[in-house]
Chain A
Amino acid sequence: MKAAVLTFPGSNCDADLLWAVQEIAGQEAALVSANTEDLTGFDLVLVPGGFSYGDYLRSGAIAKFAPVMGALKTFAANGGYVLGICNGFQILTEAGLLPGALQVNTSLEFICEPEPLIVANHQTAFSNQYAAGQTISLPIAHGEGNYYADPETLASIEAHQQVVFRYAENPNGSLNDIAGLTNEAGNVLGMMPHPERAVEALLGGTDGLGVFESLIAATKGAVHVAN
């Protein structure tokens, strides 16, 4: 598997993601500037957390106009795997690659703590190495992770089993406890929790490894993905 880790001005989880994919999962990966307009040759594009363009206007609102976004849309439309984490999730919703939006947490606080999650759909390219309904723990670190979609969109998301991770103890007000969801085609995932920060016992846990192992299996065609 060859992964591109996008870097926007203000991204701050790009090095962690590169470490997780290269050093821990043992895959090929490269940092790719948001000014690039070509993503050919990659199996997976990772959109990292941080504060792209200072999160001016809204989280992810400026990043959606970055030069790489056209190539990312083409990559996703052709079935390439895209994983957006935290600010990456916000960017993907702003860009229209995922439904809904991320709003300020109901507590108004920036929350930085390990969070129990339930694997709501284990038959995706991003979650096939987890068991159905498994509870895992991943760190969250965000001020704007409160997932919102209008009732019609939310019903469609549930009908198509797009929710991959739900909060066991909803920390931020997200509708339907949504912590991570895919597009309808199932090749784009956005999630607020950070799997790349839970890939070594030294970091406090390895529950995030499953996301990367699932993607390795999916890119090898080793698993049947329901979507």
Chain B
Amino acid sequence: MYKAKIFVNYKQSVLDPKAEVIKHTLHRLGQDNVQDVTVGKYFEVLLEGAHDAVAAQVDTLCDQMLANVNMESYRFTLEEVSQ
């Protein structure tokens, strides 16, 4: 069994208003060296199957559902876990 750890973020070309507000607030708190903030989503999905098949499957479900590829990009890792 594999645990997919999936990260979804806005594409770099998309200005994220939430991240901008967080960055400005950090600056106001005196955290002047903060250069950039990214806000994203994190998913964990447990899947049964062989590594390569599961990897292809996770790619598909990210593309179809977990990310809107018009404005978001995704990446994931697979970790073998015992039941």
A contact residues vs B (CB 8 Å cutoff): 57-58, 61, 65, 93-94, 99-101, 103-108, 146, 148-150, 173
- Can you list, as one digit per residue, whether each of B41-79 has a CB less than 8 Å from chain A (1) or not (0)? 000000000000000000000000110101100000000
Tell me the dominant secondary structure on chain A's binding face.
loop
What 5 A-B pairs come out closest when comparing CB atoms?
A: A101-B70, A101-B71, A106-B17, A148-B71, A108-B17
Complex contact B66–A149 (CB within 8 A)? no
Question: Complex formed: what's the CA distance from A105 to B66 in Å?
Answer: 21
Asked if B34 is an interface residue, CB under 8 A from chain A, the answer is: no
Pairs across A and B, CB under 8 Å, 24 listed? A57-B65, A57-B66, A58-B68, A61-B65, A61-B68, A93-B70, A99-B70, A101-B70, A101-B71, A103-B14, A103-B17, A103-B71, A104-B17, A104-B18, A105-B17, A106-B15, A106-B17, A107-B17, A108-B17, A108-B18, A148-B14, A149-B70, A150-B70, A173-B15
Complex contact B70–A100 (CB within 8 A)? yes
CB of B22, distance to nearest CB on chain A (Å): 11
Question: Complex formed: what's the CA distance from A58 to B71 in Å?
Answer: 12
User: Most chain-B Cβ atoms within 10 A of its Cβ — which of A101, A103, A146?
Assistant: A103
A173-B17 CB under 8 A given contacts A57-B65, A57-B66, A65-B65: yes
Chain A-chain B contacts (Cβ-Cβ < 8 Å), number: 35
B contact residues vs A (CB 8 Å cutoff): 10, 13-15, 17-18, 21, 65-66, 68, 70-71
Residues on B with C-beta less than 8 A from A149 are: 70
Residues on A with C-beta less than 8 A from B68 are: 58, 61, 94, 101
Residues on B with C-beta less than 8 A from A146 are: 17
Question: Complex formed: what's the CA distance from A27 to B65 in Å?
Answer: 36
Question: Complex formed: what's the CA distance from A104 to B29 in Å?
Answer: 25
User: Most chain-B Cβ atoms within 10 A of its Cβ — which of A58, A146, A173?
Assistant: A58
- Closest A residue by C-beta to B10: A103
- Closest A residue by C-beta to B43: A57
Task: Other than A93-B70, A101-B70, A148-B14, give 18 A-B pairs with Cβ distance below 8 A.
Answer: A57-B65, A61-B65, A61-B68, A65-B65, A101-B68, A103-B17, A103-B71, A104-B17, A105-B17, A106-B15, A107-B17, A108-B17, A108-B18, A108-B21, A146-B17, A148-B70, A148-B71, A150-B13
Residues on A with C-beta less than 8 A from B18 are: 104, 108
Question: Complex formed: what's the CA distance from A104 to B65 in Å?
Answer: 18
Residues on B with C-beta less than 8 A from A108 are: 17-18, 21
Residues on B with C-beta less than 8 A from A65 are: 65
CB of A208, distance to nearest CB on chain B (Å): 28
